[in-house]
Amino acid sequence: MKDEDGHKGHCCGGVSRRGFLSSVGAGAVLAAAGLPAVPVAAEQPADPAELVRVTLRINGRAHRLLVEPRWSLLFVLRERLVLTGTKVGCERGECGACTVLVDGLPRYACLTLAVEAQGHEVTTIEGLLRGEELGVVQQAFLEEDAFQCGFCTPGQIMAAEGLLRANPDPTVAEIRAAMAGNLCRCGAYAHIVKAVRRAAAARREVGHG
């Protein structure tokens, strides 16, 4: 990519400022048209000899897949199983947008290889639905208006779900500590804490904790 002053040219093997802006513009056009960008991991077809056969148990269902050893659980969920509720954020374990539960514990899907998830129970945001109804934590986030743009919300909900499975009656301090790995650009943190407290109370009422 371009250097700090934005003037690196093709002669050095980099990307020119014009080329960089053109690529950004192309991405914007795809987004505006509602067309998906090509995932990085799918740009080059894998050598069949390099694929690994795995069985992933996700939301109570077994999925038999051929994956590259380097593919993240995030990539497989979204691009192979079309479970797009799990969001792509920083892809380096800093924002929490891709949080899922692995054996009931919150985990960043971007830092988890798909092959690592074999033999474990994975739960995504889709797995919290009760038929056509929202799950308890999902409903609490809705009622407490615990989101603005909503992009981080699936990860926030999964982190909250993991907390409440382990601790049915957390204090405010415990909620804040458990949710610290999930960032919200809109700053809806006060509402998120209220939503988790509401979900905790609702789960206790229905005997979930």
Q: Write down the pLDDT at residue 16.
A: 40
Query: Is pLDDT above 60 for 42?
Result: no
| Cα distance between residue 12 and residue 19, in whole Å | 14
What are the φ/ψ torsions at residue 67 (nearest 5 degrees)?
Answer: -130, 155
Residue 145 token pair: 């208006």
Percent of the chain with pLDDT over 90: 72
User: Average pLDDT of 56-81?
Assistant: 97
Q: Considering the entire predicted model, what is its pTM?
A: 0.76
b/e code 51-76 from CB counts within 10 Å (16+ = b) = eeebebebbeeebebebbeebbbbbb
- SS3 of 180-208: the string is CCCCCCCCCHHHHHHHHHHHHHHHHHCCC
| pLDDT bracket for residue 25 (50, 70, 90) | very low
- Cα-based torsion angle of the residue sequence 167, 169, 171, 175 in order, rounded to the nearest 10 degrees: 50
CB 98 within 8 A of CB 88: yes
User: Average pLDDT of 37-55?
Assistant: 68
State the residue for tokens 């077809």: 45
User: Average pLDDT of 160-166?
Assistant: 98
| pLDDT bracket for residue 50 (50, 70, 90) | confident
- Cα-based torsion angle of the residue sequence 189, 195, 197, 199 in order, rounded to the nearest 10 degrees: -150
User: Average pLDDT of 145-174?
Assistant: 97
Q: Write down the pLDDT at residue 46.
A: 63
Query: Is pLDDT above 70 for 45?
Result: no
Q: Write down the pLDDT at residue 206.
A: 79
| Cα distance between residue 149 and residue 155, in whole Å | 13
| pLDDT bracket for residue 24 (50, 70, 90) | very low
Q: Which of 92, 138, 89 is nearest to 111 (CA)?
A: 92
Query: Is pLDDT above 70 for 10?
Result: no
Q: Write down the pLDDT at residue 208.
A: 62
Q: Which tops the pLDDT comparison, 189 or 48?
A: 189
User: Average pLDDT of 123-142?
Assistant: 96
What is the CB neighbour count within 10 angstroms for residue 176? 14
How much is the mean pLDDT over the chain?
84
Q: Write down the pLDDT at residue 207.
A: 74
State the residue for tokens 């992933």: 56
Q: Which tops the pLDDT comparison, 122 or 11?
A: 122
| pLDDT bracket for residue 44 (50, 70, 90) | low
In terms of DSSP bridges, do strands 99-102 and 105-108 run parallel, antiparallel, or are they unpaired? Answer: antiparallel
